Structure 1
Amino acid sequence: MTRGPVDAVVIGAGPNGLVAANALVDAGWEVLLVEANDVVGGAVRSAEVTAPGFCNDLFSAFYPLAAASPVIQGLDLQAHGLEWTQAPDVLTHVLPDDRAAVLHRRPEDTAAGLEEFAAGDGDAWLELCEQWQRVRDPLLDALFTPFPPIRPSVRLLRALGTADALDLLRQAVLPVHRLADERFNGEGAAVLLTGNAMHSDVGPDSAGSGMYGWLLCMLGQDVGFPVPQGGAQRLADALASRFRANSGELLTGTRVTDIEVSGGRATGVRLADGTRVDAKRAVLADVDAPTLYGEMVDAEHLPARFLAALERFHWDNPTLKFNWALREPVPWTAAGARGAGTVHVGVDEAGFVDFAADLSNQRAPRAPFVLFGQMSTADPTRSPPGTESAWAYTHLPHRVASDPHAVDAVAEQVRQLIETHAPGFADTVLAEQVQRPHDLEEADSNLVDGALNAGTSGIHQQLIFRPTPGLGRPETPIEGLYLAGASAHPGGGVHGACGWNAARSALGGSGIVRKRLLSTAWARLLERPGR
């Protein structure tokens, strides 16, 4: 059976697919968005999986990149039910000796806390914040637009001057361990920067990790670490609502198995039930690169050199995640952790290096670095009054992730670690759900082996090297087929840029299309200064 034709088929209703679909319908295209799961969202989903009345985010939870993204902010999702809320404090790192470094919304408050770790570190922190204010807008433009970001780079150069621009470029490739050593004397700033860098899979001694740590810390003080009121699903639902309101067609519970190619061009897709959907203009795939090129497209349509490069694709680390319903707030002994939405625990500055080495060497972590989310602290609607909806996760080496007994051993380490810093935590647990790497992949096929970022964030697979060496753009070797998922530049995180870049490339040639696009909310993105 054949249905359609439509102007475009978008595969996958994760945040990037939803953004891409919205951009296309805003331009007047007839769009079919096809999602394999019964609900939209990809890794932006929530549900009651622990106890009645407790909303748990199943994958991602805090969204500084969405709050900073001109792509997401240009969609006016508040008109479709999205409301943001925040915890009193952004993030706290609890050291093994129970000292706590706190990332506050006000840089001055963060600096005051860091001064207690070492004299002069407060002023050094404020210098980093001043640097952020100078480069914020052109830097975010450069991060969220197709490569190469020529105009944002020119604006950065004008804002900084040649000497400071070179300093920023050097800082962008610094390992976060080195950045902390150069700037600070105390451990507080070091663990804040390094812990945020480790939200990616880039280790503390790896090139580029300094940029990740600095960026997330600065965003935390700029836009915070907001959450959608009522659960992560509200963000996905708002994107879907906007798409439908603009005449987009959404098909859930249906998997795309093949992309049809004729004459070197993508002409449609085939669904699992055998139905063919014709696409007159484009197919956009919010899927990981190995799945797109290794399963959905016949190899005969792809250059041999491209396929050879794809064999070197480097996945990020698997994830082990917990979801909890707690009868009361977490009994942290470190007071600084009680008001934070996100808590980092388990390692000191040197411990980050050891943890990264264990991952790199495929060893079970001897001392895991754990990220802990206090969702009711950020959004009291997530659970009954006086209780807490919480989660935690840590990363595993791929070899460990494939061994159920080893995974269970790490899980017990995590529980014991939390109990050490929050005595009595186990007694607060009403219900627990554990999401092992294979559980994450089963729930979202893009999270291959529990990897969250659709490929490493290491510099060898970023920019022009993402997903394979090339131009770092969403175009593929097949005309009319665009990579719209996080395997494309700029990579993982809920910012929508991968989907937006793919849609913009698909729309790119038509002056009429551009005129119609500019008549929508997307105008505020395309017409930002310097574009």
Structure 2
Amino acid sequence: MANDFDAVLIGAGHNTLAAALHLSARGWKVGVFEQAGVAGGAVKTGEYTLPGFRHDWAAMNLSLFAGSAFFQRYGEELGRHGCAFVPVDRPFSSSFPDGSWVGVSTDRTETLAAIRAVSPRDAETWTRLCDGFGAEAPHLFGLLGSPMRFRALAYFMFKTLRAKGIGGTLDMGRFLLSSPRAWLEETFEHPHVRAMLGAWGMHLDFAPDVAGGAMFPYLEGMAGQAFGMVIGQGGADTVTRALVAAIKARGGMVETGATVTRILHQGGRASGIELADSRRIAARRAVIAGVAPRALARLTRGTTPAFDGALQTFRHAPGTMMIHLAMDALPDWRAGAVLQRHAYVHLAPSLDQMARTYVQALAGQLPDEPILVVGQPTVFDPSRAPEGKHVLWVQVRMAPGTIAGDAKGEISATGWAEAAEPFAERALSILEAHAPGTRAKILARRIVTPVELEADNPNLVGGDQVCGSHHLAQHFLFRPVRGHADGSTPIANLHLTGAAVWPGAGTGAGPGFLLARKLAGN
């Protein structure tokens, strides 16, 4: 073999890059091999419409990364390599068809005024939740940041019991098992407040009636109130570029345009990889695959029947379509100019509509009323567009990876090449209804279908941006497979990382950092 490393990493997503940096810092020689021409996976930025307009390809919100244990350890080093964030004081809001809105600002008085306008009682509830967040956050974040091993889980339960008692611990367990709708309807009275928070569940494949999803609307609401949001200065790729530079500065290698075709192993132990150009790269201590579970069996050409079978049945969430818009000006929201000051505007009018959209996408139908997440990053980071211009980041949820039909009966195409334009027009019509005149402000647009998302990054199977459903049967100890939530595999020295591994999706780098700490020590 011409090249050899202590660790060879497949894929240059932020999790594998985080693992590579930590291993480098612990003295390992690392090599990262990425099939795409640009590192970053879903965390990258480019001029996808017009020169000077910088669009985040998929991930825009970097709050989890900025607040992660990984960034606490390596933030100063990444800063020296150009990583920079822009704080967002108005992280999200929801616009409704009746011209009203509800939103969250880091100014609690402002948030309460918005909620009080639709429900004084819900404003009181919001105050109570915010006041109690400081006591609840350590338990929830402690769970999400804990290695998913029986000993670690037992220790977490012991600490929780000591802090909360039996009753409080049971209440927490019930909350963790609840669906978004169950918790939201128990907690808030107004449908708009429920919808504002329920939209966050859809980001992680938790439709309103899916058990185990209540935590995410709660955490996003409370964290948005307490901390706001963070986006990348100049684009989300500020993270990727800094990670690559830091790895190289420590003597590691990151090679793009290098497709891995095989993981080499013999006698139950991984020894390296083979590339499409026939090169063989040796790994003395670890091969780390940042791939979707189903791809691992193809690369290994078989581990054990039970493990490979479980990977093949790993379930992916419905897909997403992205619409990148270069804008002459921001949308004029019917609900008021205040929405021009929010990073995200959700167009998801009710829990019932979200549930219907989700079921339609699961059935392979183009939803009759898809959910839109309208990102307005240039409100906070004008450097992403020419002076006076803007970009809109429009995430269309949900969209089936494979089209079986159209729930509205208007689109006959069943291939994304033909369905992309009419489905994008459906989404833009929803945006136009909430912000009349938006179409006239579009200078250029780029539609990215679920098929294109997967072609660019094979981990986004069917356009699934979270690399696998987070439903209870596929989360915690079961992500991706029971007994392997730490990224281990039946082959010694071969490890899986990325959003398919506990603690799952998001930009927090948890799967990569936890694995690297396990391999090389804290």
1:303-318 mapped onto 2 (5 Å cutoff)? 303-318=304-319
Provide the residue aligned with 1:403 in structure 2: 415
Provide the residue aligned with 1:265 in structure 2: 269
Deviations along 1:341-375, whole A, 9 cap, x unmatched? 01101422322222222223332212111111111
Is 1:182–2:186 an aligned residue pair?
yes
Are the structure 2 counterparts of residues 505 and 88 from structure 1 closer, same or farther at C-alpha, using a change threshold of 3 Å?
Answer: closer
Q: Which amino acid aligns with 1:186?
A: H
Q: Secondary structure at the match of 1:331?
A: coil
Q: Secondary structure at the match of 1:72?
A: helix
**Which TM-score applies when normalising by structure 1?**
0.91
Sequence identity, in percent? 31
Q: Which amino acid aligns with 1:49?
A: Y
**1: distance between equivalents of 2:455 and 2:381?**
28
Of the candidates 463, 486, 491, which is equivalent to residue 476 of structure 2? 463
Deviations along 1:134-183, whole A, 9 cap, x unmatched? 13234323212320343444443333333222212211111111111101
Provide the residue aligned with 2:87 in structure 1: 86
Is 1:367–2:366 an aligned residue pair?
no
Q: Which amino acid aligns with 1:70?
A: A
1:102-141 mapped onto 2 (5 Å cutoff)? 102-141=103-142
Provide the residue aligned with 2:383 in structure 1: 381
Q: Which amino acid aligns with 2:147?
A: P
Provide the residue aligned with 1:62 in structure 2: 61
Provide the residue aligned with 1:284 in structure 2: 288
Q: Which amino acid aligns with 2:24?
A: V
**2: distance between equivalents of 1:222 and 1:479?**
43
**2: distance between equivalents of 1:257 and 1:124?**
54
Deviations along 1:404-462, whole A, 9 cap, x unmatched? 34443321110111111111111110100000111111221211221111111111111
Provide the residue aligned with 2:214 in structure 1: 210
Provide the residue aligned with 1:43 in structure 2: 42
Provide the residue aligned with 1:297 in structure 2: 300
Deviations along 1:203-232, whole A, 9 cap, x unmatched? 101101111111222222233221110111
Number of residue pairs aligned between Structure 1 and Structure 2: 505
In the alignment, is the contact (CA less than 8 A) between 1:142 and 1:153 conserved in 2?
no
The 10-residue stretch of structure 1 (410-419 or 141-150) with the greater mean CA deviation from structure 2: 141-150
The 10-residue stretch of structure 1 (48-57 or 118-127) with the greater mean CA deviation from structure 2: 118-127
Q: Secondary structure at the match of 2:258?
A: coil
Provide the residue aligned with 1:158 in structure 2: 162
The 10-residue stretch of structure 1 (318-327 or 401-410) with the greater mean CA deviation from structure 2: 401-410
**2: distance between equivalents of 1:381 and 1:374?**
13
Provide the residue aligned with 1:357 in structure 2: 359
Are the structure 2 counterparts of residues 327 and 226 from structure 1 closer, same or farther at C-alpha, using a change threshold of 3 Å?
Answer: same
In the alignment, is the contact (CA less than 8 A) between 1:87 and 1:377 conserved in 2?
no
Of the candidates 509, 517, 521, which is equivalent to residue 496 of structure 1? 509
Q: Which amino acid aligns with 1:125?
A: W
* Offset, 1:190: 0.4
In the alignment, is the contact (CA less than 8 A) between 2:16 and 2:498 conserved in 1?
yes
Could you say what the CA RMSD is over the residues aligned between the two structures, in angstroms?
1.7
Provide the residue aligned with 1:419 in structure 2: 432
* Offset, 1:55: 0.6
Are the structure 2 counterparts of residues 170 and 310 from structure 1 closer, same or farther at C-alpha, using a change threshold of 3 Å?
Answer: same
* Offset, 1:198: 1.1
**2: distance between equivalents of 1:3 and 1:479?**
23
**2: distance between equivalents of 1:226 and 1:153?**
31
Is 1:21–2:41 an aligned residue pair?
no
**2: distance between equivalents of 1:413 and 1:165?**
45
The 10-residue stretch of structure 1 (456-465 or 149-158) with the greater mean CA deviation from structure 2: 149-158
Are the structure 2 counterparts of residues 135 and 80 from structure 1 closer, same or farther at C-alpha, using a change threshold of 3 Å?
Answer: farther
Unpaired runs of 5+ in structure 2?
A: 405-413
In the alignment, is the contact (CA less than 8 A) between 1:87 and 1:379 conserved in 2?
no
Q: Which amino acid aligns with 2:61?
A: F
Is 1:438–2:451 an aligned residue pair?
yes
In the alignment, is the contact (CA less than 8 A) between 1:172 and 1:208 conserved in 2?
yes
**Which TM-score applies when normalising by structure 2?**
0.93
Q: Which amino acid aligns with 1:363?
A: Q
Unpaired runs of 5+ in structure 1?
A: 508-513, 515-525, 527-531
The 10-residue stretch of structure 1 (6-15 or 98-107) with the greater mean CA deviation from structure 2: 98-107
Of the candidates 400, 422, 447, which is equivalent to residue 460 of structure 2? 447
* Offset, 1:308: 2.3
Q: Secondary structure at the match of 1:392?
A: strand
Deviations along 1:12-65, whole A, 9 cap, x unmatched? 111001000011111101111111122211110001111111111111111221
